[in-house]
Structure 1
Amino acid sequence: MASDIVKHFETLKTQLKDGKTVKYYNHAKLYEAECIFREPATQQQIDDFKKRTNWNLPKQYEELLLYTNGVVLFRDEYGAGFEISGLDEIELDHFDPMPSNWIPVVACVSIGDYIFFDSDQVESGSNYLIWHNHEQYYDEPTLRFTIDFATWLERLIITRGAWFWEWKN
């Protein structure tokens, strides 16, 4: 049975024109954005990465890596969008003064914000997903999500890359 991550990506792929372009409306204007999938990682690459970095990865992210070792989602004509890092990018994107247990997994391109996994919280299965606003120092997360990574990804896909976590109820 396919995981939620695979189902979300397979659904998105059915909506792509030419295998990479999706159209959506925002503020009554039609936009096009690009989604680019990569070759999958192997389980051995994931295991080696976890051993080398001593980071805990959510199972849902491992499922993503086995489907696509990184993906660009909803990159617009100006280059803005989301880049979910593959194994190689994670280590490159982690720099001081980021806390050592924060794993930068999603770059909000052209803004400078990141979505992180808190490696220390992953095993608990809750509150491990963090958003960090680039205007803040790295002492505290801007937001600690109460949803898991698969739910976050599903909502990102449904909203076509909208920052749903900033919406007011």
Structure 2
Amino acid sequence: MPISHLQKLLDEVAASHYPNAPATLEQIAAFEASAGWRLDDELRAFYLRTNGACLFEPQPEQTFRILGLHEIQPVRVAKPRQEESAGAASWWTLVYLQDSDYNLVDVARPAPYPILDAYHETYPQQVVEIASSFAVWLERTLRSGNQLWWLPAD
């Protein structure tokens, strides 16, 4: 997705949702040094615009909370399991969906990084790619009407 289209989505988040203050270049550099991976261009653009955001509703009512840089962590830390192989080491939390559910970013793949769904009752056995990039995820989410658009309809 072109960065110009992503900028329009970020404008929408800023105007109609609940964004945090932007991350600084220093915060981004500190996050990347600590995490051991670099934000792709789409995530970098997002965090330079807002260091996390609630979509549709403010906290604590929100369904979608894109985590601030200080909240992103390996999914193995966020969703600990007794099995040592509970999820790939390259899966990091990105979006909190309530009740220990997350959308993840897979940083082992080439940029732009895909977004995965990690439903708490089926994790780590069933983790599925739901968007080819953050921009695709953001557009689908903004058009969803506050619904978990990747889940099958009842």
TM-score normalised over the length of structure 1: 0.72
**Distance in 2 (alpha carbons) for counterparts of 1:79 and 1:144:** 26
The 1:41–1:3 alpha-carbon spacing in structure 2 relative to 1, beyond 3 Å, is farther
The percentage of counterpart residues that share the same residue type is 26
- What is the SS of the residue equivalent to 2:56? strand
Contact persistence 2:91–2:105 (CA under 8 A)? yes
1:114 corresponds to which residue?
102
**Distance in 2 (alpha carbons) for counterparts of 1:124 and 1:63:** 13
Contact persistence 1:56–1:120 (CA under 8 A)? no
Aligned-pair RMSD on alpha carbons?
Answer: 2.7
Using the TM superposition, give the Cα deviation of residue 124 of structure 1 relative to its aligned residue in structure 2, in angstroms: 4.9
> By percentage of residues, which structure has more strand?
1
- What is the SS of the residue equivalent to 1:7? helix
TM-score normalised over the length of structure 2: 0.78
Residues 1:147 and 2:136 are matched in the alignment: no
Using the TM superposition, give the Cα deviation of residue 114 of structure 1 relative to its aligned residue in structure 2, in angstroms: 0.6
The 1:44–1:76 alpha-carbon spacing in structure 2 relative to 1, beyond 3 Å, is closer
Using the TM superposition, give the Cα deviation of residue 108 of structure 1 relative to its aligned residue in structure 2, in angstroms: 0.6
**Distance in 1 (alpha carbons) for counterparts of 2:5 and 2:24:** 19
| Structure number with bigger Rg | 1
Q: Give structure 1 stretches of 5+ with no counterpart.
A: 17-34
- What is the SS of the residue equivalent to 1:91? coil
Using the TM superposition, give the Cα deviation of residue 9 of structure 1 relative to its aligned residue in structure 2, in angstroms: 2.9
Using the TM superposition, give the Cα deviation of residue 149 of structure 1 relative to its aligned residue in structure 2, in angstroms: 1.1
